[in-house]
C-alpha cells in the first residue's frame, strides 16, 4: 500500500513538472530579445566599484561599495537562466577592490580569488585595486609572496590592470621617507637605478629593500606595466602634511610624488 502511494506521488510530481510553464515564457524579462537583456544586465550590474569579500568557507562575494553591503548580483538567485546569463558580468563591468582587512595581506587574498575564477572570468576582468595590509608594510615596502603571482597574472592578461595601494609615508610626515619608499619600489619592480643621492637617503630603509629583492632579483625582467603601485591617500593630503619644500630638490620630489599618485610607481 505504501509503495503504491509512493509511486502515485512520484507520478503526480512528474505530471506537474511536465505541465509547469517554462520560466522564460512567464518572465517579461526573459521574453525580451537577448540584446535588450544584455543592456539591462549591464545597467543593473554596473556599480563602478565592488568589494571582494572572502567567506570563511573559501567562497567569494562581490558586494556593493555602500551601506548596507549586499551582493551586487541578485539576479542570479532568481532562476538558472539568469544565473547563467549574468555569470561573470560583475567582474567585467566593475573595478574589483580588495579592502585592507587588517588581518592578512590582500595581495594573497586576491591571488586566491583569481585562482578560483574560471578562465572566462579571468579574461573579462578590467581592473583590480588591492589595499595592502598597512601594518605589515612597516618593515617592508611589498609582500613579495603575494605580489609575485599577481605579476605573472598581469603578464598573462595585458588588457587588465592591478593597482596595489600602499602607505608610502607611514606615520612619518617627512617627504624624504615618502620619496625613499617610492624609489625603493621603483628600483625593485621597474629596475630603475637610484642616483647616488637617493641611495644615501634610503640607507635607513635598505633593510626593507632586501625583502623585495630576495624574491625579485636585480637581473630579472621588470614587472609588467599593467601592475602599478599607487600611494594610499590623496596627493593633496600628503602635500599639506609635508613641510613646504624650500630647495629645488624638494620641489622635484614633490612633483615626483604627485606623478606617482596619478600614474603609479
> So what's the pLDDT on residue 6?
45
Going by pLDDT thresholds of 50, 70 and 90, the confidence category of residue 10 is very low
- Return phi, psi of residue 211, to 5°: -65, -30
> So what's the pLDDT on residue 228?
94
Residues contacting residue 178 through CB under 8 Å, at least 6 positions apart: 168, 169, 231, 238, 242, 257
Q: List the chain domain ranges.
A: 21-90, 94-265
> So what's the pLDDT on residue 139?
52
How is the beta sheet containing 227-231 ordered, strand by strand?
Answer: 60-64, 49-54, 95-98, 127-131, 161-166, 227-231
Give tens-digit pLDDT for 35-94: 999 999 999 999 889 999 999 898 999 999 888 889 999 999 999 999 999 999 999 999
Going by pLDDT thresholds of 50, 70 and 90, the confidence category of residue 138 is low
Query: Is pLDDT of 96 > 50?
Result: yes
Going by pLDDT thresholds of 50, 70 and 90, the confidence category of residue 210 is low
- CA within 13 Å, CB half, 219: 0
Give tens-digit pLDDT for 160-200: 999 999 877 665 567 877 887 787 788 778 877 665 566 55
Q: According to DSSP H, which parts of the chain are helical?
A: 2-19, 23-26, 34-45, 80-86, 89-93, 106-116, 119-124, 144-156, 175-185, 196-201, 206-213, 235-241, 248-263
> So what's the pLDDT on residue 195?
57
Going by pLDDT thresholds of 50, 70 and 90, the confidence category of residue 130 is very high
> So what's the pLDDT on residue 227?
95
Going from the C-alpha of 246 to that of each of 1, 167, 183, 239, 243, the distances in angstroms are 98, 25, 21, 13, 9
Query: Is pLDDT of 136 > 60?
Result: no
Longest distance between any two alpha carbons in the chain, whole Å: 98
Going by pLDDT thresholds of 50, 70 and 90, the confidence category of residue 9 is very low
Round to whole Å and give the CA distance between 149 and 106.
Answer: 13
Give tens-digit pLDDT for 225-262: 999 999 888 888 777 777 777 788 788 888 888 999 99
Going by pLDDT thresholds of 50, 70 and 90, the confidence category of residue 222 is confident
> So what's the pLDDT on residue 221?
80
> So what's the pLDDT on residue 171?
57
Closest CA to 51 of 116, 124, 106: 106
Q: Which residue has better confidence, 228 or 140?
A: 228
Amino acid at each position: 500500500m505504501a509503495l503504491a502511494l509512493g509511486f502515485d506521488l512520484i507520478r503526480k510530481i512528474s505530471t506537474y513538472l511536465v505541465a509547469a510553464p517554462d520560466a522564460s515564457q512567464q518572465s517579461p524579462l526573459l521574453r525580451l530579445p537577448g540584446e535588450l537583456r544584455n543592456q539591462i544586465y549591464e545597467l543593473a550590474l554596473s556599480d563602478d566599484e565592488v568589494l571582494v569579500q572572502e567567506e570563511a568557507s573559501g567562497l567569494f562575494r562581490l558586494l556593493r561599495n555602500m551601506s548596507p553591503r549586499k551582493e551586487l548580483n541578485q539576479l542570479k538567485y532568481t532562476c538558472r537562466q539568469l544565473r547563467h546569463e549574468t555569470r561573470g558580468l560583475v567582474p567585467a563591468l566593475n573595478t574589483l577592490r580588495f579592502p585592507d582587512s587588517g588581518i592578512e595581506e590582500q595581495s594573497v587574498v586576491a591571488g586566491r580569488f583569481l585562482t578560483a575564477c574560471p578562465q572566462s572570468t579571468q579574461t573579462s576582468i578590467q581592473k583590480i585595486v588591492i589595499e595592502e595590509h598597512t601594518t605589515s608594510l612597516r618593515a617592508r615596502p611589498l609582500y613579495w609572496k603575494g605580489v609575485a603571482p599577481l605579476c605573472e597574472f598581469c603578464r598573462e592578461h595585458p588588457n587588465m590592470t592591478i593597482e596595489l595601494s600602499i602607505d608610502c609615508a607611514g606615520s612619518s610626515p617627512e617627504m624624504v621617507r615618502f620619496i625613499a619608499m617610492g624609489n625603493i619600489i621603483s628600483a625593485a619592480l621597474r629596475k630603475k637605478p637610484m642616483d647616488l643621492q637617493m641611495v644615501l637617503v634610503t640607507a635607513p630603509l635598505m633593510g626593507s629593500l632586501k625583502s623585495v629583492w630576495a624574491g625579485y632579483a636585480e637581473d630579472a625582467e621588470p614587472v609588467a606595466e599593467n601592475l602599478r603601485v599607487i600611494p594610499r591617500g590623496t596627493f593633496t593630503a600628503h602635500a599639506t602634511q609635508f613641510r613646504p619644500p624650500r630647495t629645488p630638490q624638494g620641489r622635484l620630489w614633490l612633483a615626483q610624488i604627485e606623478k606617482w599618485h596619478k600614474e603609479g610607481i
